[in-house]
Every structure is written in structure tokens, then in C-alpha cells.
Structure 1
Amino acid sequence: MIKIKIPAGQELTLEHLVLDYNGTLAVDGHLKPHVREKLNFLAQDLTIHIITADTFGICAAECEGIPCTLQLLDNSCPGGPQKENFIQTLGPSKVVAVGNGANDRQMLASAALGIAVLGDEGTCAKCLIDADVMVRNILDALDLLIHPKRLVATLRQ
């Protein structure tokens, strides 16, 4: 669990980290460098969930060795509502969500803390409206959770 007190704001008590895979953690299906190490470190404090349509079919192999649950989306249905429903099952007040695509918007908006990532594949502009924070890349997003006082500086009122 990670607790973050935001001055003149709320206290976040985060238990779950929900991450989009392609475009957020990975490029062209392959995990970005150094992501594995940071996720393994964060797994000491958060339950990690990776949610994906697994476009390239290699997500499970790429995430081997990361203590996480892998949530596969039903490709016959829109991904946005599926991701939001998953957040709801965990209890949104305990979730930090990280994503970059149009199908991440609802997930970012419903989580206690939504982080939009501007990665190699870009970011859906509407994600910026639904996120609480935007960062340059996934490593910056994970570092916000490893060093939560950075979030205090960004989110204080």
C-alpha cells in the first residue's frame, strides 16, 4: 500500500496499480527497457494488474517474472468499458491507473489516481482531460509511485 497526503486535498491510499500494456508498458508488443525492474520494486507495495487486448500475442511471455495478474480484454467488445469495469471491481478509491489510449480514458477517470503517459505511440488527447497527471513516459509514471512526494508537488491545491 502507498499512502499519499495531498495538501489541501485528499489522502490517497493506493493498493492496486492497473496498467495498459501496448503503448504504455510496451512498444510493438515488447516491454520497454527498465519497466520490469520498476514493476518488481513496486510489487512490494502494490498489487499489479496489466490489462491488454494482447494485440501482438506476446504479453504473457514479455511479462514473465513480473508479479502481476494479466487481464485480457474481450476483443469483440469495446475496451474502454471493460477497463473501467475492472477498476470498479478493485474499488476505484484504491487504484492508480496508467494508460495512453482512447480505450484508457474511462479507466483513468474512474481510478483514484489516473496517469496519462506520452509514449512512443503518442497519447490520445482526450486522455489528458480524464487523467490527474500526465508524464513523458512510463518510467516517469512508475517513478511517481516510487517517489510519491513528486505527486504531492504536482497535485497540491
Structure 2
Amino acid sequence: MITIETPGMKKLEAEHLVLDYNGTLAIDGKIIPGTKPLLEMLSSQINIHILTADTFGTSKLELAEINCELEIIDKDMQDVHKEIYVDQLVQEKVIAIGNGANDALMLAAAGLGILVIQKEGASVKTLMNADIVCNSIVDALELLTNPLRIVATLRK
């Protein structure tokens, strides 16, 4: 569990990390360098779930060494599938990370939503549903390894 206590906000006790794959963890189907060791480190604290339509057909191979649940979702209504997935995990116990328009509902539903801006860019709609914006997935995952950084970002 990752616990985040931000003054003036409800205490977050996250049990699940839900991530988009393409554009978030991977570019053109290949996992972004530096993410694997961070995911492995985090997997000892939190359950990791990766959601993807698997556009490039590479997610199973790329994620084979990572302790995570891989969910390949239908190409239609991805945004709704991702939101339902978060709902089933109990929203208040989820940290979600994404970048695309199909991640907007997922970030809004999660107890903490993080948007990453990388080579694919990021959806403005999703940006408006995020609690935090990071320059890269490595930066976002490093935030989770040091929750006091999150407190510094979110405190009022």
C-alpha cells in the first residue's frame, strides 16, 4: 500500500496502480527505458494493473518480466472500459496514470490521477481530469516511490 497524507485532503491509501500502456509506459509498443525497475520496486508495495488495447501486439512480451496484471481491453469504448476497471478496484484505493483521451475517465475516477506528457503528447481533456502532471513516466513512478513529493505538489 502507498499512503499519501496531504494536509487539507482525504488520506489516500492506495492498493492499486492502474496504468495505460501505449503513450504512458510504452512508445510505439516498446516499454520506455527506466520503467521496468521502478515498476518492480513498486510491485512490492502496490498491485500493478496495465490496461491496453495492445495496438502494436507487444505488451505481453514487453511486460513478461514485470509483476503485474495485464488486461487487454476491446478497441471500442476504451475510456469506459478503463473507468469500469478502476470502479471495480474501489476508486479511493487507486492511483491511475495515463496520457490519452481514452484515459480521461480513468484518471477522474481514481483516488489520484497522474497525467504524463511524453512523445505522444497528452489529451487536454485528460489533463483536466488529472491531479498531477509529470514530464515522463519515470518522473511519475519516482513520485510514487517518494510520496512526500506528492504531498508537496498537492498541499494547499
Aligned length: 156
Query: Are 2:69 and 1:69 aligned?
Result: yes
Give the match for residue 43 of structure 2.
43
Q: Deviations over 1:119-145 (max 9, x none)?
A: 111001111110000000000100110
Give the match for residue 118 of structure 1.
117
Give the match for residue 79 of structure 1.
78
Q: AA paired with 1:98? A: I
Deviating 4+ runs (over 3 angstroms):
none
Cα distance between partner residues in 2 of 1:85 and 1:109? 12
The within-5 A match list for 1:15-26 is: 15-26=15-26
Gaps of 5+ in 2: none
Cα distance between partner residues in 2 of 1:131 and 1:11? 17
Cα distance between partner residues in 1 of 2:89 and 2:8? 26
Give the match for residue 137 of structure 1.
136
Q: Deviations over 1:63-102 (max 9, x none)?
A: 0110000011112x21000000000010000000000000
Cα distance between partner residues in 2 of 1:54 and 1:128? 23
Give the match for residue 6 of structure 1.
6
Computed over aligned residues only, the root mean square deviation of the Cα atoms, in angstroms, reads 0.6
SS at 2:118's partner residue?
A: coil
Query: Percent sequence identity over matched residues?
Result: 48
Cα distance between partner residues in 1 of 2:4 and 2:32? 27
Aligned-pair CA distance for 1:22: 0.1
TM-score (normalizing by structure 1): 0.98
